[in-house]
Structure 1
Amino acid sequence: MTISDPFHALFTHPVIPLASVRAEGHIEAIGDGLVDGGLPVVEVALRGELAVQSIRQLAARGDLLVGAGTVRSTAQLSQIIDAGAQFIVTPGLDVDVVNYAARAGLPIIPGILTPTEIGLAARLGLTRVKLFPAAAVDVIAMLNAYADVFPDMRFMPSAGLNAANAAEFLAHQSVFAISGSWIAAAAHDGAAAVAAAAREALEVAHSAALPQ
């Protein structure tokens, strides 16, 4: 397996929910809701004191693909791999972090924004990257430009995405998935709310006819 193996289970999901866990009681609600909603994948952001505990608890379920997000150092990588993380998402493109993930046999989706970063990602063997922060740019215009110059690269827009604008991004030929926090954020209303948000996101993805 390579760090961007398109056949890895991670890349079968058109939506990757991002969870910034603020309350211990939300961990179970997120896991139960995503599984019941048919979207058994979650990126747990390394923000706050519950992040590593959340990764460990969710990974121990065995019915959920659990990754770590906002990973900024190899020291963090070592910790979250021990906790059971199965994939890595980073806010930027750190060569040491990418190489560490490769040695560990874990897929990684690093954050990029510029052509220089995309070129470096390609040289590192990556074909899947996170376009971040999506809320700060004209995502569609950027994707259109990058599609011509980097035809083999696929993108996951992240930051500022929600149920209302997901379809626009999912329909783009260069997008393999989107990342958003609105699904897991429903945990404050319980597992049923998370499941409903997950089902809605999948319906949007399917109606957008996401290219692979």
Structure 2
Amino acid sequence: MKDVQHYDPQEIDRVMRIAPVIPVLVIDDVGHARETAEALVEGGLKVLEVTLRTPQALDAIRRMNLVPGAIVGAGTVTNPDQLKAAMDAGSEFIVSPGLTQRLGEAAIRAGVPFLPGVANAGDIMRGMDLGLSHFKFFPAMANGGIPALKALAAPFYQCRFCPTGGVSLENAADWLALDPVLCVGGSWVAPKGASPDAIARLAREAAAL
């Protein structure tokens, strides 16, 4: 793994510490992408994850990159081709729902801040073999919630996590109280059809956690 030395885990650590919540965004209408990003940044959430779940996602990343203060990344990245497309669109970090060696090696070669999804000890060990130490615990609630992450994090004391999946305003503070948790990912801060004012208000609530 000669490429590991070029990957700096402190870069994703820095991204994860900027705000307590990373909005997980599914953009159906690229026309609203910029105003959504503006509302989130205004509310104090600067790190934005645009999931590659819609055909508009890459265009949305390009538009959101125009918003001052926004740090825009791509989520739901599952293979090296998507990784390249996301980076070509200006993604500043990459999030994946899981971890394969092929994707992990591609992200490390690219030197991009990378947050792969893990669900069990084997996933974390695979990531550590690649030189990674920061992970998305996903899907967080379906995987057993806080007790599961506590048990999983104990033997991997050097790792840090961003729980995503079932995290809400109601339970986010409980997740954030865990030492290995640097931030959480959530879609509640930008619900479908919400106005920019409503999104900014939700972002302010989340940023205060």
Deviates more, 1:68-77 or 1:24-33: 24-33
Q: Give % identity.
A: 38
> Following the alignment from structure 1 to structure 2, what is the Cα–Cα distance between the partners of residues 120 and 175?
20
> Following the alignment from structure 1 to structure 2, what is the Cα–Cα distance between the partners of residues 172 and 6?
21
2:106 equivalent in structure 1: 100
8 Å CA contact 1:20, 1:44 repeated in 2: yes
2:204 equivalent in structure 1: 199
Aligned-residue offset at 1:127: 1.2
Number of residue-to-residue matches in the alignment: 203
TM-score by length of 2: 0.91
8 Å CA contact 2:93, 2:114 repeated in 1: yes
> Following the alignment from structure 2 to structure 1, what is the Cα–Cα distance between the partners of residues 12 and 33?
28
The 1:83/1:75 distance shift into structure 2, 3 A limit, reads same
> Following the alignment from structure 2 to structure 1, what is the Cα–Cα distance between the partners of residues 12 and 138?
23
User: Aligned partner of 1:141: which letter?
Assistant: P
> Following the alignment from structure 1 to structure 2, what is the Cα–Cα distance between the partners of residues 181 and 196?
14
Asked if 1:82 is matched to 2:88, the reply is yes
Q: Secondary structure at the match of 1:169?
A: helix
The 1:132/1:8 distance shift into structure 2, 3 A limit, reads closer
8 Å CA contact 2:20, 2:183 repeated in 1: yes
Q: Secondary structure at the match of 1:110?
A: strand
Give unpaired runs (5+ residues) of structure 1.
Answer: 205-212
2:3 equivalent in structure 1: none
The 1:111/1:203 distance shift into structure 2, 3 A limit, reads same
> Following the alignment from structure 2 to structure 1, what is the Cα–Cα distance between the partners of residues 166 and 204?
20
> Following the alignment from structure 2 to structure 1, what is the Cα–Cα distance between the partners of residues 174 and 205?
15
Find 2:188's aligned residue among 171, 182, 189: 182
8 Å CA contact 1:90, 1:109 repeated in 2: yes
Paired residues for 1:1-212 under 5 Å: 2-5=7-10, 9-12=14-17, 13-185=19-191, 188-204=193-209
Aligned-residue offset at 1:85: 0.4
> Following the alignment from structure 1 to structure 2, what is the Cα–Cα distance between the partners of residues 18 and 11?
13
Aligned-residue offset at 1:15: 1.1
CA RMSD of aligned residues (A): 1.6
8 Å CA contact 2:34, 2:67 repeated in 1: no
